[in-house]
């Protein structure tokens, strides 16, 4: 059974940092591209970042570029999001999501989400 389990969320002051983790199981992790998607309270979904299976290709939303860093450790079946210089507008539930193998890059499995609150 495919499982994605996020951790690392919490409350942080503006300008602070957090590192999110996503533990994957039930599939061959290094074969799949992965993403972070966030959802601010009461708002819609926003794609944040993408990483290829090998980690060689990475993309970011403009809203987080230069502040967030996505990475993965295929030996540990884990995905990460290092978030620096956090702002109030980064407050959201952060989900990790797997790209399906269809070639259409839909997200077929999602974690349960971890809440990040940025507030003074």
* Binding interface with another protein (CB under 8 A): 35, 37, 44-47, 50, 59, 61-62, 95, 100, 102, 104-108, 110-113
Of the pair 56, 102, the CB lying nearest another protein is at 102
Of the pair 37, 83, the CB lying nearest another protein is at 37
State the nearest-atom distance from the C-beta of 120 to another protein, in Å. 26
CB 49 within 8 A of CB 68: yes
For residue 31, the SS3 value is helix
Of the pair 7, 59, the CB lying nearest another protein is at 59
> Residue 27 contacts by C-beta under 8 Å, 6 or more apart in sequence?
2, 98
Cα(9)–Cα(19) distance, integer angstroms: 8
Cα(55)–Cα(33) distance, integer angstroms: 9
State the nearest-atom distance from the C-beta of 95 to another protein, in Å. 6
State the nearest-atom distance from the C-beta of 75 to another protein, in Å. 26
């Amino acid at each position: 059974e495919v499982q994605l389990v996020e951790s690392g969320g919490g409350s942080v002051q503006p300008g602070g940092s957090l590192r999110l983790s996503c533990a994957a199981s039930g599939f061959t992790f290094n074969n799949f591209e992965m993403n972070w998607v966030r959802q601010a309270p009461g708002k819609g979904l926003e794609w944040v970042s993408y990483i290829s299976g090998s980690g060689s290709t990475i993309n970011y939303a403009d809203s987080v570029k230069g502040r967030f860093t996505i990475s993965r450790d295929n030996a540990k079946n884990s995905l990460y999001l290092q978030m620096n210089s956090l702002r109030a507008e980064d407050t959201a539930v952060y989900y990790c999501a797997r790209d399906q193998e269809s070639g259409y890059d839909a997200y077929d499995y999602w974690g349960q989400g971890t809440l990040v609150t940025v507030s003074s």
